[in-house]
Amino acid sequence: MSVDEDTVRRIAMLARISVPEDQLEPLSGELNNILGWVEQLGEVDTDGVAPMAAVTPMTLRRRADAVTDGGLADEVLANAPDVASAFFTVPKVVE
């Protein structure tokens, strides 16, 4: 695939980027070089290679999937401006 000045102009318009007319030709050359590198990557034999999310093996830390009440009700309600019977009290809203 080859990128010409009209294609660069269209890409710039779609990306909402202002590209001066004198920069269209050098930019098309740079985009063609990038596309050349991508084509070279397509020639690499990847049969038998598992997809990876990262180049280093990583494992996520796990925690027990247990339901708890948190045990912090009194500490949480201490921050409330008004409390009634261990619940937040809010103003009545009627429209």
Helices (H), 21-77: 24-42, 73-77
pLDDT the model gives residue 19: 93
pLDDT the model gives residue 60: 85
Residues 5-59 have pLDDT tens digits of 999 999 999 999 999 999 999 999 999 999 999 999 889 998 988 888 888 888 8
pLDDT the model gives residue 67: 82
Under DSSP, is residue 24 helix (H, G, I), strand (E, B) or coil? helix
**In the 8-state DSSP scheme, what is residue 41?**
H
pLDDT the model gives residue 25: 93
pTM of the model: 0.50
